[in-house]
């Protein structure tokens, strides 16, 4: 074992429901206090501010993100999902604050790590390791990762779940939803019950590390010996529901490729886009979290390293076929076929006014421009991203027209939007049309 000083960094994860509820209650109180003070000040100066303007101030959003980051678990994960890794699609003030929830969480103190592993592996587990640093190499919303060396010389990445995460999922999701309702960030007419049910299901699945191990094994089998990708293998003897043990892969963050030659950036982005398309059209199984930390790069082999399969989601073959029809319509530039395909996917219906349908179709045509472009599309050109942001924000401001799309469509949107943003960050040039024509 490593002889390092006691791990002083980090803060304990509140594991009891009452303590987590108290944190969320305090957050709601702080938010309300901020709204009242700012509202009184602005009214005194003669302004008539909207409620949303009072709620979504940088100070109030900072209060919320600070508390969610302290809680970790499902509360922090909900904040990440709400921020949607949206990058330039959010107003810059909110984008900078919400990035806090996509950064690393505070790690657990050493005593809490010890307690989790004592329960999972039994006391005296340290005897099986030559080195087990209690300082993690990464910490996220549901767990943290340690790089450990066994007595027989095997190097592992050990993912340890924060205590209390699984049993607090339902109450965390309900409490965050209540906060959104009370703060009136969401319109009153919006029925978010189906989305909350899916969020709970997804988070319960992500909190089951034995399920994640199964998903990782499935992806290893599906990708086989594909030279473009590299995945860790599971160490079943050390894996439990709260602990996932995998081979440690030497790699660097994918964003380090920003300084790489154009050809290398293009190849990496093409592989990520090709993988997303294979997941949808071939596997009907998708890792739906496009967080930057889930993609790394192996400089020695030039392969993309794929990590974190907790958010793996299966899609019905019918959904893949409907998406295939939508891709055909986009490539053909056919408004009628696009409208029919969007209706089949549940993204358009007769309740939507004609003017709003026209706006949705225009936004879809804009978003699918890379598919119609002959030759490589330059993701480094931010003209399209800015247009999408402006159009999207204009539609978002019309709160009375908000509708929740089917949950599967939301997960697909998140995956492909995240992949787009990663390609944009790499300033890659990719022939997207050539990639998607294989499937349509």
pLDDT digits (tens, 9 = 90+) for 89-118: 444 444 554 555 555 567 888 999 999 999
User: Most confidently modeled of 244-258, 390-404, 405-419?
Assistant: 244-258
Residue 154 pLDDT more than 90?
yes
| H helices present in 183-261, as ranges | 193-206, 209-223
- Which pLDDT value is given to residue 140? 77
58-62, 69-73, 372-376: the lowest-pLDDT one: 69-73
Residue 291: how many CA atoms within 13 Å on its side-chain side? 19
- Which pLDDT value is given to residue 25? 47
Counting runs of H as helices and runs of E as strands, what totals does the chain give?
17, 13
Residue 122 pLDDT more than 80?
yes
- Which pLDDT value is given to residue 388? 76
Residue 41 pLDDT more than 90?
no
Q: Can you tell me the mean pLDDT for 365-391?
A: 86
DSSP secondary structure letters along 342-385? HHHTTS--TTS-HHHHHHHHHHHHHHTHHHH-SS-EETT-THHH
20-34, 149-163, 341-355: the lowest-pLDDT one: 20-34
> What's the CA gap between 113 and 139, in Å, rounded?
12
> What's the CA gap between 84 and 313, in Å, rounded?
17
> What's the CA gap between 276 and 278, in Å, rounded?
5
- Which pLDDT value is given to residue 356? 82
Where along the chain do its domains lie? 17-103+168-184, 252-440
Rg (C-alpha) for the chain, rounded Å, is 23
- Which pLDDT value is given to residue 51? 42
- Which pLDDT value is given to residue 6? 39
100-114, 195-209, 259-273, 278-292: the lowest-pLDDT one: 100-114
- Which pLDDT value is given to residue 348? 82
Six-digit token pair at 39? 């509202």
Residue 83 pLDDT more than 80?
no
- Asked if residues 308 and 211 have their Cβ atoms less than 8 Å apart, the reply is no
Residue 22 pLDDT more than 90?
no
Average pLDDT in the chain: 79
- Which pLDDT value is given to residue 4? 39
Can you point out the beta strands (E) in 270-354?
Answer: 285-287, 295-298, 303-306, 312-314
- Which pLDDT value is given to residue 404? 67
Q: Can you tell me the mean pLDDT for 331-360?
A: 86
Residue 48 pLDDT more than 60?
no
User: β-strand 312-314 against 229-230: which pairing, if any?
Assistant: unpaired
Residue 136 pLDDT more than 80?
yes
Q: Can you tell me the mean pLDDT for 332-357?
A: 86
Phi, psi of 136 (to 5 degrees): -75, 160
> What's the CA gap between 64 and 59, in Å, rounded?
9
Residue 49 pLDDT more than 90?
no
Six-digit token pair at 216? 């990782």
Per the annotation, the verdict on 408 as an active-site residue is: no
Phi, psi of 301 (to 5 degrees): -110, -15
- Is this model's pTM higher than 0.75 or not? yes
Residue, of 274 and 440, whose pLDDT is higher: 274
- Which pLDDT value is given to residue 8? 38
Would you call 139 exposed, middle or buried from its count of C-beta atoms within 10 A (0-12, 13-18, 19+)? buried
Q: In what order do the strands lie in the sheet with 252-253?
A: 229-230, 303-306, 295-298, 252-253
- Using the structure block, give the residue that is written with the tokens 């499902």: 74
Of these residues, 85, 242, 266, 289, which one is catalytic? Answer: 289
Residues 6+ apart with CB under 8 A from 165: 13, 72, 73, 74, 142, 143, 207
Percent of the chain's residues with pLDDT above 70: 70
- Which pLDDT value is given to residue 226? 93
Maximum Cα–Cα distance across the chain: 73
- Which pLDDT value is given to residue 198? 80
- Which pLDDT value is given to residue 353? 79
> What's the CA gap between 307 and 232, in Å, rounded?
8
- Asked if residues 286 and 306 have their Cβ atoms less than 8 Å apart, the reply is no
266-270, 277-281, 320-324, 343-347: the lowest-pLDDT one: 343-347
User: β-strand 285-287 against 312-314: which pairing, if any?
Assistant: antiparallel
Phi, psi of 137 (to 5 degrees): -85, -15
């Amino acid at each position: 074992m490593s002889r390092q000083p006691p791990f002083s960094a980090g803060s304990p994860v509140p594991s009891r429901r009452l303590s987590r509820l108290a944190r969320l209650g305090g957050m709601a109180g702080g938010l309300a206090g901020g709204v009242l003070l700012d509202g009184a000040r602005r009214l005194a100066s003669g302004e008539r501010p909207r409620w949303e303007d009072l709620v979504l101030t940088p100070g109030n959003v900072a209060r919320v993100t600070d508390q969610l980051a302290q809680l970790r678990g499902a509360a922090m994960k909900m904040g990440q999902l709400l921020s949607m890794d949206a990058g330039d699609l959010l107003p810059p003030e909110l984008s900078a604050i919400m990035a806090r929830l996509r950064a690393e969480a505070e790690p657990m103190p050493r005593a809490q790590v010890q307690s989790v592993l004592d329960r999972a592996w039994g006391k005296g587990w340290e005897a099986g390791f030559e080195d087990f640093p209690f300082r993690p190499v990464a910490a996220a919303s549901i767990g943290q990762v340690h790089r450990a060396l066994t007595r027989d010389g095997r190097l592992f990445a050990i993912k340890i779940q924060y205590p209390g995460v699984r049993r607090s999922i339902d109450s965390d999701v309900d409490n965050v939803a209540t906060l959104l309702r009370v703060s009136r960030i969401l319109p009153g007419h919006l029925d978010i019950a189906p989305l909350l049910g899916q969020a709970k299901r997804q988070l319960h699945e992500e909190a089951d590390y034995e399920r994640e191990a199964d998903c990782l094994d499935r992806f290893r089998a599906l990708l086989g010996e594909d030279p473009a990708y590299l995945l860790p293998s599971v160490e079943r003897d050390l894996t439990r529901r709260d602990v996932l043990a995998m081979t440690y892969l030497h790699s660097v963050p994918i964003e380090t490729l920003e300084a790489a030659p154009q050809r290398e950036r293009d190849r990496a982005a093409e592989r990520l886009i090709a993988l997303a398309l294979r997941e949808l059209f071939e596997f009907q199984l998708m890792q739906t979290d496009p967080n930057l930390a889930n993609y790394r790069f192996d400089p020695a082999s030039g392969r993309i390293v794929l990590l974190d399969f907790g958010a793996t989601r299966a899609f019905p073959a019918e959904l893949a076929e409907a998406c295939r029809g939508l891709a055909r319509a986009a490539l053909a530039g056919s408004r009628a076929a696009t409208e029919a395909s969007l209706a089949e996917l549940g993204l358009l219906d007769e309740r939507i006014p004609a003017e709003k349908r026209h706006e949705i179709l225009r936004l879809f045509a804009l978003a699918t421009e890379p598919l119609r472009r002959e030759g490589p599309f330059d993701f480094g050109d931010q003209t399209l991203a800015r247009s999408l942001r402006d159009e999207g924000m204009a539609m978002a401001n019309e709160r009375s027209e908000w509708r929740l799309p089917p949950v599967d469509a939301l997960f697909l949107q998140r995956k492909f939007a995240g992949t787009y943003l990663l390609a944009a960050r790499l300033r890659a040039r990719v022939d997207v049309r050539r990639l998607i024509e294989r499937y349509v």
